[in-house]
Every structure is written in structure tokens, then in C-alpha cells.
Structure 1
């Protein structure tokens, strides 16, 4: 009886084991196939992004610009996704080490805690205006340790933007190089010749070169006779971080002057229709564009049109794009008021 009972128990035991092994095996197989599928889709998506970026680099590297606006925006989106993936991977690694402690974008004291700068400010200046630059350094930009603190603490990176003399290497160029060695706060456009007529192209080159060098959230153009309220600028830009394509400033549209003797003469006045009025654009004292738009300018720098004035030119670059035009009175530098971002001096 005992041997018979023992045999029955062994048979029951051997019958019971397969019932537990089969579900486990199926679950393992399903998990393996799912992993292969997800990895394959991610690999394919990354390869597509790499292909698009290589195509863009090949075209722009050859000095060509035969690329549509739609393709340009697609490539910008691909690059943004790629950087977001890299950023998420880094944040995930850091979170694992720190116990998944979340980070706020802007702390209560106004410091910027994200990995990239909040805004890169290009202060367009020219030869013979060192007094203006020194006044800006003393008023709001700072120099040395103060400038470093502004960049690291608030994520605001200001630079004076200037080209080269028509007589390359003359005393004007040497003076700028000497000043830059002392202050280290210039963005020098080596392939731009300084001239009053060249200001629109200078603004375009600033956005193009700055977008290539700094991965900032926003890029601002400022004249060298403008006072900037850094805290007001930072808090205002922080409210627009969720908008991918922002063009922000004191928006206006005025008369197009066709008389050559007029200060604001527009040689191509006939392109603006019978009523001769400019399209909506931000005033030139100070305006801001988001990272995606700065990269758009960088990619299309060889085909973007410039007019007589840099503010009109900048406005023309974004016509036809899905851009959020933000008319912000705080950027109207001609009238100083409480909470204003800028003021002419």
C-alpha cells in the first residue's frame, strides 16, 4: 500500500509541474519578443533621424540651400527629439543616483536650474562705442565674476556682437580684439563687415552663429543703447517655455517710406503693396525668438531675405511659418514703466 501510494504521489507531482512551467515559459517568450520589437522600433526611429540630419549637414556643408521649409522644420523637430532623449537619459541616470528627486525649472529665488541656458542675448554694437559697452557692463550685464554668476545662476548669457573692419586687421579690429582679451564678452562675426547698411545681415548672422554655439531656450537681439531688466526678462521668458516657436517683442507695423532722403527709406518699398505698410514685426530695440526659430535662421541663412532694417527683416523670416507672435508691451523700450524689460538710454 505504501509503495502504491508513493507511486501515485509521484505521478501527481509529475503531472502538476508542467502546469506551472508552461505559463512561465509563455511569459518569458512574450517579454523577449516585446523587448526585440521595442528595441527594433527605437533603432529604426533613431536611424531615420540620423539620416535626416546627415542629409541636412551634407546640403548645408556644400553651401547649398535646396531644402524646403517643411523639411527644415521636420529636421529641427528630429534634432529636438534626439536631444530630449539624451536629456531624459541623463536625468534618469541622475535620478537613480539621487533617489528620484525632481528638479524645478525655476527656483523661487529666480535661478535657472535646467541644463541649457535660458536666454542668449546678443548686444549688437560697432566700432567706437566702448563707452556704451562699459555702461552696459556696469548697469546690467556685469563682467568677470559677476558675468559668470549671471550665466551660471540665472542662465542668461549676454555677448556683444560685432563684425570686422572693411580694412581687415586695422586699428579698429585690433581695438576690439584687445578689449575682448580683457573682458571675454564678445561674439565676433569674422565673415561680416561692419557697416550701417549691413545691420540686417548682421542680425541674421548673430542668430545663426549663436544657435550653433549655444543651446539656449531663447535668443534675444538688443541694441547697445538699451538697459535690460534681467529679472523681468527671466520671469517673462519662463512663462513661454512650453511654446516651441515664439517670436516676442513690442509688435508694430508702420509706413514703408519710398523717398530716398527719408531716414527710414526702404529701397524695396514696392514689394509691400499699394498701401505701402509693413507686416507685423517686433521693434528693433529688443526682441526674442525661441530656439527652434533661431535654428531655422541658422539652417536657412543663405536664402533668408533682408530688407533695409533688421527688425523688418526678422519679421519677414517667420511669415508663413507656424509661429506664435507675442506682443509684449514690456519690450517697448521707448517708455519705461514698472515691470518693463527694457528701456532706451
Structure 2
């Protein structure tokens, strides 16, 4: 009996062991199937993702060979050089260098740069001076336009606006300009005696933005100019890119407040109180490069009490060619028109407009 009971227990244990092994085997099989399925699913997902990426990037059709890679690099280098050349061409265009074959699409003849833009700085209440200049040497209407087209000499009266914007002073200028069309109005400049140097600066800055000329000249509204001789004189200096032309001087700096030429900043000019070299204010001419320099730096270029000194200060330290042109000096003239190249009538150093009789006023 004891032996039979033991045998039954042993058989029962073996049966349970076989069942456990079978269950374990089944669990292992199912686990293997599950893991394999997940791996297969992940692999399929990766394949789909790779194909989709290839489709989006455009590299799925074929691999890029070494030759193709070199060609792409060469194309990129050529494109880079082309962009650099385009930038250089744009910069050259800004500096005024153009191809000899370039033409104006509206004209049959090649586009020519004006020789000079003359700004006659005038003020309110000076219409008689302006009329005298129009009659004497500037011209009006068709004559003015003809000289611009044929000789490349642009002449404009330069004036700002009244402190009381839109008052009778502004209205008179606007009315005069409608009749003559020969003003260059500085809308953002207020006319005032102390603002004259700043007015000269703004003329050069705005004129070079409006007209791409070889030269820019500042002239007072009581000065006579021989246009043809001025053009001939300037044409001889076209080979000088940074030129400053005028009657050069470096006179005393007056520190007495009551003096007509008083300089509030006299202490900045050294113990000897002498101005640096600069052109006399009746008339002076600068080249395009210097006018662009003024335009770019207009906000930081300081002014002194007088426009001629201010202009001279702007070019200190620059590589500028100073030309002391005696023909620009009013003191070189006797009464009447001279046979020399340029003639002036200036209030202080040359013949006054008022000294001419009414009959000969415009030939004085």
C-alpha cells in the first residue's frame, strides 16, 4: 500500500512537470512570435519612412556619383562668382562707371552724365537778384532746358522753407517756381541766417541723390558766372576723382562777437587762430565722389559759422585734390566784364549789382 501511494505521488509530480514545461514552451513560442512580429513591423515602418524621405528630398531614384557631386560644387562656385560680379557691377553703377555700350532706352544716343549741377543759394526777398541772374547768365524756359541737354549744365536756385510753414514767404516761392521751374526747394530745411552752412551741406547731399553729375557747384545769388568758360575749366579736371576747386584761402579767425565774420568756435582753430585751407564762399566746386561723401555722412558732418569754412572742414583728412583756381577769385576782376574765363559780381569783393545803372544792369 505504501509503495503504491508513493508511485501515485511520483506520477502526479511528473504530470505536473510536463504540463509546466508545455506551458513554458507555449509561452516562449508566443513571445518569440510577438517579438518577431514587432521587429518585422518596425522594419516595415522604417522602410516606408526611408522611401517617403527619398521621395521628398528627390534622392530616391538614384545615388549621386562622385562626378555629379563635383559638378554640383562647380555650379555652386560659378553661382557664387556670378553673384559677386553682380554686386560689383551694382557698386560700379552707384559710382558712375557704366559700359561704353550702355544706352538710355528712351533715347537713341548714349546716356550722358551731366557735367555740373550749379546750386545758387538764395533767400526770401531776393527775387530781384534771381531775376537778374536769369537775365544775365542762367536763362529761363527753353534756353535753360537746352543748356541742360546740350551742355550738361544744370542750374537751380536753392532755398528752404519758412519757419512758419506755408506762410506768404513759402507761397511766393511756390508761385515763382510755377512760373520759372528753376528752384531746388529743400522742404526739410528752415531758412535762417545761422542755417546757411547747413543749407549748403543739404544742397550737396540732396543734389547728388537727384542728379548723377560729374561736379556740384555752390554759388551765391549775387555772383555772375560765365557758363561756357566754367564748363571748359571743369572739363580739364575730369581725370581727378576727388577734387575741390575754388579760390583757396586760410585767413584769420575772428573771435570778437561783434565782428561781421565772428566765429563762435574760434578756440578750435589753434593759438594762431587761422582757418585751415578752404575755398572762398562766393563759388566753389566739388566732384561727385566728395558730394557722395557729404550725402552719406550728412548727419555727422559738423558746420561752423560760415558755409565755406564748413565745406573745407568736411574734406580734412581725406585724399582730396585741392585746386586753387584764380579764375574763381572775385578779387581778380576789375569793373566790367573781363576777358578771363569767369566773371563774378559779389556784394563785397567784386562789382555790386546795385552799382549798375538800370539800363545796363543785366550786362554789368
TM-score using structure 2 length: 0.69
In the TM superposition, 1:308-319 aligns within 5 A as 308-319=305-316
Q: CA deviation at 1:334?
A: 3.3
Mapped pair 1:43 → 2:56: no
Name structure 1 gaps, 5 residues minimum: 1-33, 51-77, 104-112
Determine which of 83, 100, 112 is the counterpart of 1:88. 100
Deviations 1:91-121 (A, max 9, x none): 599xxxx9xxxx9xxxxxxxxx861110000
CA distance in 2, matches of 1:229, 1:92: 30
Q: CA deviation at 1:83?
A: 4.0
Indicate the residue corresponding to 2:341 in structure 1: 340
3-state DSSP of counterpart to 1:307: coil
RMSD: 2.6
Indicate the residue corresponding to 1:167 in structure 2: 164
In the TM superposition, 1:225-236 aligns within 5 A as 225-236=222-233
Indicate the residue corresponding to 2:132 in structure 1: 135
Name structure 2 gaps, 5 residues minimum: 1-73, 346-351, 353-364
Q: CA deviation at 1:333?
A: 2.3
Q: CA deviation at 1:328?
A: 0.4
Count of paired positions: 269
Determine which of 288, 293, 300 is the counterpart of 1:291. 288
Indicate the residue corresponding to 1:241 in structure 2: 238
Determine which of 176, 179, 185 is the counterpart of 2:176. 179
Counterpart contact for 1:165–1:193, Cα < 8 Å: yes
CA distance in 1, matches of 2:328, 2:160: 26
In the TM superposition, 1:17-28 aligns within 5 A as none
CA distance in 1, matches of 2:158, 2:317: 28
Indicate the residue corresponding to 1:282 in structure 2: 279
CA distance in 1, matches of 2:282, 2:195: 16
CA distance in 1, matches of 2:155, 2:103: 27
Mapped pair 1:214 → 2:211: yes
TM-score using structure 1 length: 0.73
Counterpart contact for 2:326–2:332, Cα < 8 Å: no
Deviations 1:266-318 (A, max 9, x none): 00000000000000000000000000100110010000010000000000000
Q: CA deviation at 1:81?
A: 6.6
CA distance in 1, matches of 2:207, 2:297: 14
CA distance in 2, matches of 1:117, 1:92: 14
